[in-house]
Amino acid sequence: MSAKPYGRLLTLKLRIAPHSSDATSTHLHLAPVLAIGNNGVMSKQQFQTEVSQLLQLIVHSLYSHPEIFLRELISNSSDALDKLRHLSLTDDEYKALVGNGIDSPRIDLELDEANKTLTVSDTGIGMNEEDLVSHLGTIARSGTKNFLTQLSGDARKDSNLIGQFGVGFYSAFMVADKVEVFSRKAGDDKTFKWTSDGETGFDIEEVSGANARKTAGTTILIHFNDEGAQYANGWRLQEIVRKYSNHIAFPIFLTYDKADWDAEKKESVKTRTTEQINAASAMWRRSKSELSDDDYKELYKSLTGGWEDPLFWFHTRAEGTLEYTTLFYIPAKAPLDLYQADYKGGVKLYVKRVFIMDDSKDLLPQYLRFVRGIIDSEDLPLNVSREILQQNKVLTSIKTASVKKILSELKTIATNDPEKYSRFIAEYNRPLKEGLYGDYANREMLLDLIRFKSTKVEGLTSLAEVKERMQPEQKALYYITGGSESMLRNSPLLEIYKKKGIEVFILDDDVDEIVFSTVTSYGDTDLKAVNKSSTSEDLKDDSTPEKAEELQPLLDKIKATIGAAVKEVRASSRLANSPSVIVSDEDEPSARMRQMMQAMGQKNLPVLQPTLEINPDHEIIRKLLADPSNSKVEDAAWLLFDQALILEGVQLKDPATFVQRLNRVLNQSI
Ligand SMILES: Nc1ncnc2c1ncn2[C@@H]1O[C@H](COP(=O)(O)OP(=O)(O)OP(=O)(O)O)[C@@H](O)[C@H]1O
């Protein structure tokens, strides 16, 4: 299969995600002690409008799962630890700071039951004053902004939507009436404090002495509100951490007043205790048999920050020339921002359990950007850089094998569990189609996985099924593109196929024409667009040459009337009920596609010059043949052409003249 030439004309507007993060990883520590003091100038700042909006939503609509605040803060800490670990492995400046400004990687929860406060501390990358303003005062991701505009005010629906996003840091305001963030950026010696009540704005000041952090990292001090008071409880916190953050790769310690039964005193005594409360295991490195569905679901939730279960997952351990583990999840719902340029999702790369980066572009092809999960390799160097990764043979092999694995697992599900597969297709059919455009190696597999509307079935069908249903004399598989479903279903181009009982795929997705113009066969069967001029060759019968000859003088007249607006006027073998239709050449975009390309700002498009086909059996044409007087042919020629353009979804250049002509002909016939 080869790409057809007009692919070159198209700037494919399928989104290309950029790559989110700076790379990431971790380093070493102990929780800082805090007391409040102020030695700097306090600056008062307003939240960006979107932040205020998000806060409103969080506080007023998200009561169903307030406990997730802890998962969100722990996940931010884990990211911050990942980032610092990566820098301290790859950057000499940071390497030198280990033990001297950078502490061992850990997350500490410290509970003060009496004062109803909780601190969440990490020894991660930390934030300076500027970072605090931009990270905790604005929302940079346009996906989140876009999401906010979709909010309906229906609390239930909105909280489902936001569940796909993860509410992040701001979720702390579900349970707090005041949040203080103390942070020191790795490599800096200043600690800044960010304070907010989650209403309109925040204060920032530099702090020193007992308030300053001894090492890099961030401490978040939560003052629980009435709603949050239930979390000022050591057991409850342990329960939440085990539920959501058990498999975070770093140890999480809880310091609290542990109640133990004192047998001697015959009473319960409280002792200030610090203990590790998560497994901190890289769960994906354990064998499948040791893991329950709940383990997989829990890891998924902590990876993605949502609370919906995944649709399914594939866990593989490869041994042999290359050793690696992959754990891929398919989210139940396609993220709302999947088609946004700043979509942040994808797969995380680990090397020997150490986080390296989360850059889906280098780990999986773009069209699989909805896949979440982990690739953990034994063979890559720990200090591998993004640039090296792009050309790294080990990673290329892992990537190739992973794509094959994901696609073949999907195929198994399609065969064994069609109901589940249809839920997958409802969300991800379109990204799979994007794959046809770039992933030539897996094209046949993708063609098997994609589902299509067709003229013969309700719902969706597969290429294999349509191939099964081919008519004995049918020469190829056919599809129609370039408009809405109802427009395509009623297109004159389908008339002959309906008459002959040939099934045609209805491709009404806006990417379809671009993508399928590059796909010319499925297995050993040709795949053809019905609006291409050559396709009608398949439909010709014995009477076609005769009819064409009879029609020729009329065709010449029509061509002479319309002139350069059409490339050619010829007898059609694809029409049954309509008098005319326009088609384009193999290497040209259809008239409607051309209009879309123009709307996208595509420059230097060749002039539209379709071929006009005339139905020799249509009554209008028979009458014109019987009385080919010039005055009638002129109006008829234009009306035949204009109506064909309209049915193709093309806007007429000169609708006023079209209407005048129509009225003239109407007038003559009344
Ligand atoms: N503990 C932390 N250490 C360092 N930076 C942090 C910490 N917590 C938050 N940040 C910074 O603040 C930013 C905003 O955090 P927030 O939780 O709102 O969103 P996010 O983590 O980027 O996205 P999401 O939660 O939707 O996945 C983070 O991207 C990070 O740069």
Neighbouring CB atoms inside 10 A of 445's CB total: 18
- Cβ–ligand 1 distance for 384 under 6 Å, the answer no
Average pLDDT over residues 155-161: 57
Q: Is the CB of 80 under 6 A from ligand 1?
A: yes
Which pLDDT score, from 0 to 100, does residue 449 have? 98
Query: In this predicted structure, which of 164-173, 346-355, 485-494, 658-667 has the lowest mean pLDDT?
Result: 164-173
Which ligand 1 atom is the nearest neighbour of the CA of 141?
A: 22
The protein residue whose alpha carbon is closest to atom 13 in ligand 1 is: 135
CA-proximal residue: ligand 1, atom 31 (nearest):
135
Identify the band that residue 61 occupies on the pLDDT scale cut at 50, 70 and 90. low
Rounded CA-CA distance 33/117 in Å is 14
360 falls in which pLDDT band (50, 70, 90)? low
* 455 annotated ligand-binding residue: no
Q: Please tell me the distance between residue 168's alpha carbon and the centre of ligand 1 in angstroms.
A: 6
What is the distance, to the nearest Å, from the Cα of residue 234 to the centroid of all Cα atoms in its chain? 38
H and E: helices and strands count for the chain: 22, 22
135 in Cβ contact with 280 (< 8 Å): no
On whether the 545-669 domain is CATH 2.60.120.200, my answer is: no
* Å from CA of 21 to ligand 1 middle: 11
ipTM attached to this prediction: 0.97
CA–CA separation, 16 and 366 (whole Å): 7
Nearest CA to ligand 1 atom 28: 135
Residue 165, pLDDT score:
56
pLDDT at position 26 is: 26
Hey, where are the domains in the chain? 51-276, 283-415, 451-530, 545-669
Per-residue DSSP letters for 268-330?
A: EEEEEEEEE-S----GGGS-GGG--HHHHHHHHHHHH---SPEEEEEEEEE-SSS-EEEEEEE
Alpha carbon distance 180, 194 (integer Å):
6
Nearest CA to ligand 1 atom 14: 135
Alpha helices in 314-417 (DSSP H): 360-363, 386-391, 393-416
Rounded to the nearest whole angstrom, what is the distance from the C-alpha of residue 135 to the centroid of ligand 1?
7
Q: What is the mean pLDDT of residues 502-507?
A: 95
Measured between alpha carbons, how far is 299 from 391 in angstroms, rounded to an integer? Answer: 30
State the alpha helices, DSSP H only, in 138-285: 142-149, 155-165, 234-245
Please tell me the residue having the least CA distance from ligand 1 atom 23: 168
Compute the distance from residue 166 Cα to the ligand 1 centre, in Å. 11
CA distance 298 to 346: 17
**Model pLDDT for residues 370-418, shown as the tens digit of each residue:** 999 999 998 887 666 666 777 788 889 999 999 999 999 999 999 999 9
pLDDT score of 27: 25
pLDDT band at 642; cut points 50, 70, 90: very high
Q: Is there a binding annotation on residue 122?
A: yes
Q: Domain 451-530 carries which CATH code?
A: 3.40.50.11260
Report residue 31's pLDDT band, with 50, 70 and 90 as the boundaries: very low
Atom of ligand 1 nearest to the CA of 83: 4
What six digits make up the tokens of 307?
A: 């609370």
359 CA distance to ligand 1 centroid (A)?
Answer: 17
pLDDT of residue 152: 62
DSSP bridge partners of 252? 107
- Give 453's pLDDT tier (boundaries 50, 70, 90): very high
| CA 167 to centroid of ligand 1, rounded, Å | 10
Query: What's the gap in Å between 99 CA and the centre of ligand 1?
Result: 25
Residue 651 CA, ligand 1 centroid: distance in Å: 48
Q: Is 125 in the pocket of ligand 1 (CB under 6 A)?
A: yes
Q: Are strands 372-377 and 347-351 parallel, antiparallel or unpaired?
A: parallel
The pLDDT of residue 302 is: 80
Whether CATH 1.10.3720.10 fits 283-415 = no
Shortest-distance atom of ligand 1 to CA 217: 3
Q: Is 164 labelled as part of a ligand binding site? A: yes
615 appears as a binding residue in the annotation: no
pLDDT for res 208:
94
Query: Is the Cβ atom of 168 under 6 angstroms away from ligand 1?
Result: yes
What single letter denotes the amino acid at residue 567? K
CA of 281 to the centre of ligand 1 (A): 23
Amino acid at 519: V
Q: 604's torsion region: left (phi>0), alpha (psi -120 to 50) or beta? A: left
Residue 166 in contact with ligand 1 by CB distance below 6 A: yes
Q: How much distance in Å is there from the Cα of 52 to the middle of ligand 1?
A: 17
Instruction: Give pLDDT, residue 164.
Output: 54
CA distances 364 to 165, 339, 460, Å, are: 21, 16, 27
Name the β-bridge partners of 43: 204
Instruction: With beta carbons less than 8 A apart as the criterion, state whether 104 and 29 touch.
Output: yes
Residue type, 227: E
Residue 276: other Cβ atoms inside 10 A: 11
pLDDT at position 86 is: 83
Nearest atom (ligand 1) to Cα of 125:
4
Q: How many CA atoms are closer than 13 Å to the CA of 660, on its beta-carbon side?
A: 4
The verdict on whether residue 234 carries a ligand-binding annotation is no
- Domain 51-276 maps to which CATH number in 3.10.450.240, 3.30.565.10, 3.40.1010.20, 2.130.10.10? 3.30.565.10
Most confident range (mean pLDDT) of 100-104, 218-222, 558-562, 580-584 is 218-222
Which range is most confident: 255-269, 326-340, 355-369, 400-414? 400-414
Which of 169, 218, 250 is the best mutation target for the ligand 1 pocket, counting ligand atoms within 8 Å of the beta carbon and taking the most? 169
| 566-599 tens-digit pLDDT | 999 999 888 888 999 998 887 777 777 777 777 7
What percentage of the chain reaches a pLDDT higher than 70?
87
* Ligand 1 lined by 306 (C-beta under 6 Å): no
**What pLDDT was estimated at residue 431?**
94
| 127 annotated as belonging to a binding site for a ligand | yes
**Per-residue pLDDT reduced to its tens digit, 195-215:** 999 887 899 999 999 999 999
136 CA to middle of ligand 1, Å? 8
Residue 646 has pLDDT above 60, yes or no: yes
Alpha helix (H) ranges present in 590-629? 591-599, 619-626
* Mean pLDDT rounded to a whole number for the chain: 84
Given 3-state DSSP classes, what are the helix, strand and coil percentages for the chain, each rounded to the nearest 5? 45, 20, 35
CA dist 554 to 251, 574, 577, Å? 84, 18, 19
pLDDT score for 155: 56
Handedness of CA 171, 138, 310, 453 (dihedral sign): positive
Is 218 annotated to bind a ligand? Reply is yes
pLDDT tens string 522-561: 999 999 998 887 777 777 776 667 777 888 989 999 999 9
Fold matches, 283-415 and 451-530: no
Instruction: Estimate to the nearest angstrom the gap between the alpha carbon of 243 and the chain centroid.
Output: 27
Mean pLDDT within 220-244: 93
Please return the burial class of 42, using the count of CB atoms within 10 Å of its CB with bins 0-12, 13-18 and 19+. Answer: exposed
173 C-beta closer than 6 A to ligand 1? no
pTM to 2 decimal places: 0.70
pLDDT of residue 38: 43
